[in-house]
Amino acid sequence: MRYCSYYKKYFLFTIFSFFLWLTPAISLDLNLKFEGVYEHASQKIVVDGVSSSYGLGTVGIELNWDINQSLQLYGNYGLGYLPNYKLSAFGTNFSGPVNGERIIIGTSYKLFDSYKHQFSFGYNLSEKNVTGNDFSGIRNGLALTVESTAEFMISEFSLGYEYRATDALILGGKVGQENWNFTAMGLTLVNDITVSKAVNDTGHSPSYELYTRIGREKPIDISLVIRSYSMDNLVETYELKLAYPLYKS
């Protein structure tokens, strides 16, 4: 399972790096932005009796390539850290620091575009994961540690709408359909015996996004995305993103 996870992650990263390398070689309009993202679940995610809090904050970059007036390619890459992630497994509550990573590649196509209104169709692939190698907990008076990974793989189709209120203010929204896969793995040592637990769940769910773009020369993007995941329980996640332009070719 871990090999498969690495394969999917580096597949996304290879495509992201390829477009980054390709951009100077061909005539594309490039936009580079700083990106800060925080995503938080409404409650713990429960799969096969294993429960985990879910939160991921990352900082990174967003790249947009305008191929022509209608077609755009984009990629996002971010890294993050959370000091106190919580996990329940092996009959014990654990907590500890985790590292996070976020990779997205996608495309957007304008179906209709006028001065005031724009309709678009989009598709993207993403991976979001957290890794912790130092979770600690107490069970029957014994101090235990756990190594754990949790990963979301998502493919999404969406329809979007933008309204240009003024030259310096754009309001927009998207409605999407996601196919997702959630995988988590934990490994601990109990009485000199290595105990592992792996869980996996798949499904599909809607997503909703609201965003605004403020400013003319260097507009700031602010967005909120709401997703629902039906596992052993129903969990909603809320993703808040801020993007600030750094470079435009």
For residue 72, give the nearest of 103, 102, 105 by alpha carbon. Answer: 105
3-state helix, strand, coil split of the chain in percent (to 5) is 10, 75, 15
pLDDT score of 40: 87
Which residues neighbour 116 within 8 Å (Cβ) at sequence distance 6 or greater? 163, 164
- How many alpha carbons fall within 13 Å on the CB side of residue 163? 5
Mean pLDDT by 10 residues, the chain (249 residues): 48 55 56 91 79 83 88 91 75 80 93 94 92 77 76 93 95 96 75 70 93 93 93 89 89
What's the CA angle centered on 129, arms 157 and 16, to 5 degrees? 60
**How much is the pLDDT for 4?**
46
Q: Is 192 left (phi over 0), alpha (psi -120 to 50) or beta?
A: left
- Is 222 in a helix, a strand, or coil? strand
Classify burial at 167, counting beta carbons within 10 Å of its beta carbon; exposed 0-12, middle 13-18, buried 19 or more: exposed
Residues in the chain: 249
The pLDDT of residue 130 is 85
Q: Which two tokens stand for residue 42?
A: 């409404």
Q: Which domains does the chain have, with CATH numbers?
A: 2-248 (2.40.128.90)
HSE-up of 246 (CA within 13 Å, CB side)? 11
> What pLDDT, on a 0 to 100 scale, did the predictor assign at position 1?
40
Q: Give me the pLDDT at residue 25, please.
A: 47
Q: Token pair of 157, please? A: 């189709």
Longest dimension (CA), the chain: 68
Question: Any idea what the Cα angle at residue 103 is, between residues 224 and 123, rounded to 5°?
Answer: 65
Task: Give the per-residue pLDDT at 126.
Answer: 92
